[in-house]
Structure 1
């Protein structure tokens, strides 16, 4: 998974790039209106996001699923 924090139109958002190995996960994310994510390293929680409003789902060139959202 790759994570990017970017400004778009002066507003911060998070973009996650996920391998598309699970078709059900893809369908669930495409239907969602909001999401949260947690980042772990070796079973240690490093970051827990606030609730993010889903703004976009799309495919990357390599077929991965890209999910973008903003707080609020």
Structure 2
């Protein structure tokens, strides 16, 4: 599935994030969904606590795309996105928000 995620969360166990020519791989409980804020659509990606270097790599890149997997099966591939925000939620998960 590609395009933009809908509001219903999609859960996976691995995600590959392409940042320029680099590939960042995260494993664990992962979720993506589309959110609407101030009339604009965003893709939200929630990752397990990340290696600080991976977070810095993503922040510096500014642009990224990702593919979400469950048990090796591709569930969702994002369009190219511009990084809008990276933050931690109340449980320590990394929340990455981007828009086309």
Both structures adopt the same fold (TM-score exceeding 0.5): yes
Q: Does 2:48 match 1:48?
A: no
Aligned length: 71
Structure 1 residue runs without a partner (length 5+)? none
- What's the counterpart of residue 2 of structure 1? 31
Q: For the structure 1 residues 21 and 58, does the alpha-carbon distance in structure 2 shift closer, same or farther, using more than 3 Å as the test?
A: closer
Alignment of 1:14 with 2:43, yes or no, is yes
Q: Deviations over 1:12-54 (max 9, x none)?
A: 1111111124222111122221111101222222221110111
SS of aligned partner of 1:56: strand
CA-atom RMSD, angstroms?
Answer: 1.3
Q: What aligned pairs does 1:30-49 form with structure 2 within 5 A after superposition? A: 30-49=59-78
Partners of 1:33 and 1:21 in 2: how far apart?
A: 17
In structure 2, the gaps of 5 or more residues are 1-29
* TM-score, normalization by structure 2: 0.64
Normalization by structure 1: what TM-score? 0.84
Bigger strand share: 2
Structure 1 runs of 4+ off > 3 angstroms? none
